[in-house]
Structure 1
Amino acid sequence: MLTEIDTLLGQVMPAVEAAVGAYGVGVLTRAEDEAAGATVRPGQRLLARILHRGTDAASVEASVTDLAGRGEDPDVRAALRGQLKRALRDDPQFAGELSAMLPERPAAQATGARSVSVTDNTGIISVGDGATNIQYR
């Protein structure tokens, strides 16, 4: 279950971060905008669903506010991700709802020399000449 949650978070967080990056704290109250990009709109919808879930909305709002002000700080991003992870772990049905809201991911395509097409990876991918790759477990 935890791996599935991490996979879902890997899809949810970029959309949420894009929405916060585009609108800052205003993403919490901003109505859907026709000019919003394909990544921003899903992030807005995901955030609205997360906030209207009813559990710990104030903490999520505080984390979104922090992310809007300090989005480059990995600790701020990790704090929001941690809150969402707890919510998803505690409510598997909620995980299904968020997953259903995500746009279909196009099939990965690799073209050209040394191209790599990856949809899910837990290891090293290297295409560089003479690269030394070490993966510690």
Structure 2
Amino acid sequence: MDAEIVQLAEVAGPYLTAAAGAYGAAVLSRAEDATADATVNMGRRVLQAVWRRRDAAGKAALEAAVTDVGDDPDDSDAAATLRHQIKRALRDDAELRAELAALLPPPIQGTVTINSTGDRNNVAHTIGTAVSGDITTPRP
């Protein structure tokens, strides 16, 4: 499978799970919700973009996968099945790949390893300067 498709599905995964967990299959027809957080709304937009481009069989499979995640958002197998449905849709539709690539944030490139030991250690990624422990002023 194309690496771009795998990356898009992986980036979309948390959004899909959040949206399906919040609304179940209703997310496929639900309008944007001002009270929902950005993650849920992004997942809704991704799912609806895929939904619009699927045939009847594809819509049924997507709806079943979304329903399973909605029933149990912590089920990793259900989440994997939903990502697989997204991959299948992306594989079949270059325009959808372009639409989702423009919609989703870019994937994090490379591997990030953060080790933190000791008292009062905090860990963060991509925030700029992080200050922890007894030092309250960054040193040059």
TM range (shorter): 0.7 to 0.9
2:109 match: 120
Runs of 4+ deviating beyond 4 Å: none
| Cα distance between partner residues in 2 of 1:21 and 1:54 | 21
Counterpart of 1:119, as a letter, is I
1:76 match: 78
TM-score by length of 2: 0.71
- Helix, strand or coil for the counterpart of 1:35? coil
| Cα distance between partner residues in 2 of 1:93 and 1:28 | 19
2:136 match: none
CA contact (8 A) 2:65 2:81 kept: yes
Counterpart of 2:69, as a letter, is L
Q: CA deviation at 1:121?
A: 3.3
2:43 match: 43
2:67 match: 65
Q: Give the aligned CA root-mean-square deviation in angstroms.
A: 2.2
1:30 match: 30
1:5 match: 5
Q: Structure 1 unaligned segments of length 5 or more: list them.
A: 106-117, 130-137
Does residue 80 of structure 2 align to residue 92 of structure 1?
no
- Helix, strand or coil for the counterpart of 1:52? helix
Q: CA deviation at 1:49?
A: 0.9
From the CA coordinates, give the structure whose radius of gyration is larger.
Answer: 2
Counterpart of 2:29, as a letter, is T
Q: CA deviation at 1:119?
A: 2.2
Greater RCO structure (CA 8 Å; 6+ sep): 2
- 1:5-49 superposed Cα distances (whole Å, 9 cap, x missing partner): 111112212111111122223212322111111111111111111
| Cα distance between partner residues in 1 of 2:110 and 2:24 | 31
- 1:26-84 superposed Cα distances (whole Å, 9 cap, x missing partner): 21232211111111111111111111113311110010001101221211111111111
